[in-house]
Amino acid sequence: MSGRARTAIDRIAEAYLDDSAALDPVAATRAGIPGHDHRLPGLDPAWHEECSRLRRRTLEALAAAEPADGNDRITAAALSEQLEAAGELHDADEDLSDLDNVASPHHAIRNVFDLMPTASAEDWATVVARLGAVPFALRGHAESLRAAARHGHVVPRRQVAAAIAQCADYGRPDGYFGTLAAGARTDFGPLPGALAASVPK
């Protein structure tokens, strides 16, 4: 019995998955998509706009494609609903002003390291590369928050204070990142010298 042939809508959905994984390496890691674990998303306004352009291109492609069967209709409907909802949030600057003390970009940055393997030196090289991207991602996030504020979308002071306290806690010597760095070793022993020296302190 032959399998179902890939359709135009399958290809659109697969292209969106690949392109969105490249734009959001944290989401790629969560989804188990390889090749992006050494990076973090930009999180600045330009990054949000690129995500928006990808959504619009995908919606246009879905609208122009003819569903071949029921699977296509379900795929197109579900993906369109997801992209349209995200587009509405972007149009309202809700993505730029995403900050709270439970589930915000700074939590995603910290939590993604829990999903990364650390058994080998190669694993740790990937972790170290991603650690090096943390300051740039947080600066991008801060730039987006400032852009949202200029547009009138100001995050409540209490939420800002809580996020600052959480980030300070993550960065303490005995906080999450300090503990991660201090425990940097493979399943077989210490890291090689050059790699050990590259672990952010």
Give the tens place of pLDDT for each residue, 84-112: 999 999 999 999 999 988 899 999 999 99
The percentage of the chain sitting over the pLDDT mark of 90, rounded to a whole number, equals: 94
CA 68 vs CA 15, 87, 104: distances in Å: 18, 26, 38
Tokens representing residue 187 in the block: 């399943």
Helix (H, G, I), strand (E, B) or coil at 46: helix
Q: Which of 106, 93, 176, 182 is nearest to 137 (CA)?
A: 106
Q: Which of 104, 94, 79 is nearest to 20 (CA)?
A: 79
Tokens 């587009």 belong to residue: 87
- Domains in the chain: boundaries: 8-198
Give the tens place of pLDDT for each residue, 150-181: 999 999 999 999 999 999 999 999 999 999 99
pLDDT exceeds 70 at position 117: yes
pLDDT exceeds 60 at position 145: yes
d(CA 135, CA 88): 29
Task: Encode 57-90: b = buried (16+ Cβ within 10 Å), e = exposed.
Answer: ebbebbeebebeeeebeebbeebeeebeeebeeb
Q: How confident is the model at residue 17 (pLDDT cuts 50, 70, 90)?
A: very high
Q: Are 188 and 118 in contact (CB under 8 A)?
A: no
pLDDT of residue 3: 76
Give the tens place of pLDDT for each residue, 43-80: 999 999 999 999 999 999 999 999 999 999 999 999 99
d(CA 169, CA 105): 16
Helix (H, G, I), strand (E, B) or coil at 61: helix
Tokens representing residue 54 in the block: 């990808």
pTM, rounded to two decimals = 0.91
